[in-house]
Amino acid sequence: MLMSEQMKLRSTTPSSKSLKARLALILVAGVMAATAPLAFMPTAKADKYDEQIAALQREIDRYQAAANKLDAKADTLQRRLDGIKSEIAQLQAKIKLNEAKYNQLVAKIEETKKQIEENKIALGEVIADLGIEGKVTPLEMLASSKNIGDYVDKQTYQESMQDELNATIKRINELKQELEKQKESLEAVLENQKRDRAALDQKRATQQQLVNETRGQERAYQQLRNRSKAEQLRVMEAQQAAIAAASANNGGVRFVGGSSGGYPWHSGNCYVDGNAMSYGGADGNGGDGWGYGCRQCASYAAWKIGQHTGTIPTYAGNANNFPGSFSYRPQGSTARANSVGVIMAGAYGHVVWVESGPDAAGFITVSQYNANYGGGWGNFSRVRVHQSTYDVFIYF
């Protein structure tokens, strides 16, 4: 609920050796492109981007390590300001990281397009050759053969070429699918970049606001901190009431059990207090490293999106910000497996990961974090609930 701070041969009997060699080359190119779409660039450009990305990730890790040394609860003004400063540095490094990923994807997309075009040209020549060969009837082939063995060789050759041609066409189609995935990944990187920049601006504004409200005085900060905690508890109680009301309209909630599937934040490395505030995590101050509070619903949903698509969306905001943050994704009122269900009510809203589409009665299985069913905040649950509980579904 909370946001933490992809030449025609002229004879009627083409040379088996030369044509098979050409097809073999096409097939190998197609296989390499389809099975390794993100690592098949023939030049050193990809390696350059990989090294740059690795270096930037190490830089982010250093900033996180520094933040982890701060007091998890930011119990003094200076520690809170130091925490914000570290978060700003992490965001700046993440923006550079996304720029490197963008450049890498653009280069790979261009290379994939080039591979497709080269395969199309080569396939056109092979199809033309097979078209000429296909016009020869079995009787004509037999008449032109020196003996039965020669006739069998010609027929076997033709069948072999057709099989290899079909296999190559299949590989090209797979390569096209990989191109679409690369384009989707590029779109996700661009959206992350946009949100990261917005989050950076917000962090800077938060830093300035904190200084303005406390005027640099520790006592004023402590008063502000205590007042924020009390207000947070009231907001979260109202938020949980909104979730409960939405779930109760059509049969309520039925628990079905299960694990979180490897979600990295748990009670051993992230603490969620009675006000549903996160502590610990990636930055030592409750952040999960993606722009959400650890063990919060938005954090878990973003992680599930990353598990499904390969890219974890960063800084998508509170749960009720998700439809706007993912406006580039299809959305609707009917649940689908691998979608995010959103409850818009409350100060923050609530998001869940939809694991199965609706049954005949409209019930779906969802997994989530931080819906308080009596066991406290920041816990995982998997439940059966009616799809009408959610205002909108975002499809991934």
Q: Is 15 helix (H, G, I), strand (E, B) or coil?
A: coil
Q: Are 300 and 350 in contact (CB under 8 A)?
A: no
In a domain, 201, yes or no: yes
pLDDT tens digits for range 168-224:
788 788 878 888 888 888 888 889 888 888 888 888 887 888 777 777 677 776 776
Give the number of domains in the chain.
2
The Cβ-side half-sphere exposure at 8, using a 13 Å CA radius, reads: 10
Q: Do 275 and 233 meet the contact criterion of CB atoms below 8 Å apart?
A: yes
pLDDT at 135: 55
Residue 246 to residue 385: CA distance in whole angstroms:
10
Are 108 and 239 members of one domain?
no
Domain boundary among the residues 216, 249, 265 is at 216
Question: Does residue 344 sit within a domain?
Answer: yes
Q: Kindly state whether residues 212 and 247 are assigned to the same domain.
A: no
Q: 363 and 264 in one domain?
A: yes
Question: For the purposes of burial, counting CB atoms within 10 Å of the CB of 101, is it exposed (0-12), middle (13-18) or buried (19 or more)?
Answer: buried
Same domain, 205 and 243: no
Residue 303 confidence (pLDDT): 98
Decide if 221 is inside a domain.
Answer: no
* Number of residues that make up the chain: 396
Residues 51 and 188 in one domain: yes
Does 144 lie in the same domain as 39? yes
Domain end marker among 216, 241, 267:
216
Q: Identify whether residues 238 and 363 lie together within a single domain.
A: yes
35-40, long-range: CB within 8 Å, 24+ apart, which pairs?
37/6, 37/108, 37/112, 37/175, 37/178, 37/179, 37/181, 37/182, 38/108, 38/182, 40/111, 40/115
What is the extent of the structural domain holding 359?
Answer: 231-396
Residue 106: predicted pLDDT: 84
Residues 184 and 238 in one domain: no
Query: For position 64, what pLDDT does the model report?
Result: 61
Q: Is residue 225 part of a domain?
A: no
Instruction: Note whether 261 and 315 are within 8 A (CB).
Output: no
Whether residues 193 and 245 fall in one domain:
no
> Does 249 lie in the same domain as 196?
no
Q: Would you state the pLDDT for residue 151?
A: 52
Tell whether 141 and 237 lie within a shared domain: no
- Asked if 357 and 337 touch (Cβ cutoff 8 Å), the reply is yes
Q: Are residues 311 and 166 in the same domain?
A: no
State the Cα–Cα distance between residues 81 and 84, nearest whole angstrom. Answer: 5
Contact 199, 87 (CB under 8 A): no
**Is residue 224 assigned to a domain?**
no
Please check whether residue 368 is in contact with residue 260, taking contact to mean a CB–CB distance below 8 angstroms.
no
Which of 172, 187, 216 terminates a domain? The answer is 216
Task: Tell me what pLDDT residue 202 has.
Answer: 83
Q: What is the CATH number of the domain that holds 377?
A: 3.90.1720.10
Please list the ranges in the chain whose pLDDT falls under 70. Answer: 1-48, 61-75, 126, 128-155, 157-158, 160-161, 216, 221, 224-226
Nearest by Cα to 298 from 325, 280, 279: 325
